[in-house]
Amino acid sequence: MFDYPEEEKSIQQDTALPSDLYEHLERRKEQRLNAVATTEGIAKFFLGWSLNATGFFLARALLYIGGSTNLWLAITLSFTIGSTSAFANLQKVNANYRGGEGGFEVTGGEKLVNTATGLGLSGLTTFLAVKDFLYYQQISDQTIVQIEHDIDELQEPSIWGEPWALLTGVLIILLLIPKFFIRRRRD
């Protein structure tokens, strides 16, 4: 359609940037990348922290509401919710087997350490959520055993512990006292 002269069809090279401007742009680019990495790290930290806290408080609430009937549910939910952010790191791990001399190749292996750390923290959070409940349950069981032992000890069979034996003893004493006093007066 339009026919341009040959000179206009050629592409002209851009003028090179001055070196000080180029260095300034590179520094700004580095600063932006550092800011993005820092923001991402802070966001991941608070996401993991909030998920662990949610799992912890959910487990505590289940244990307070339902007691030992909800123990395994509380453990499962606390660990599952807390480890969600840890498993998200596994999306960035690639493992490939290359036949021959290539061998087994893993990219993103540092994410495996982050995942293991996240799972460890989830386990610790779950342990802390359940630890107090199990401690108080153990103390309650020991208290119940001690109270039952004390009741059994107080209710040991004895002749004076039975109501009919005590009543019989009192009646005998009441019958013997007047007889003793009446005999002394006649004498």
Distance CA 84, CA 48 (A): 8
Q: Is the pLDDT score of 20 beyond 90?
A: no
| Residue 116: half-sphere exposure toward Cβ, Cα within 13 Å | 6
The pLDDT, as a whole number, for residue 39 is 93
33: confidence class by pLDDT, cuts 50, 70, 90 = very high
* Beta bridge partners of residue 97, listed in sequence order: 104
> Of 8-12, 15-19, 111-115, which gets the smallest average pLDDT?
8-12
Tell me: the pLDDT tens digits for 63-111?
Answer: 888 887 888 888 898 899 888 888 877 777 777 777 666 677 777 777 7
Which region, left, alpha or beta, applies to residue 171 given φ > 0 means left and ψ of -120 to 50 means alpha? alpha
Residue 143 has pLDDT above 70, yes or no: yes
Residue 142 has pLDDT above 90, yes or no: yes
C-alpha distances (whole Å) from 73 to each of 64, 130, 136, 187 are 13, 11, 18, 87
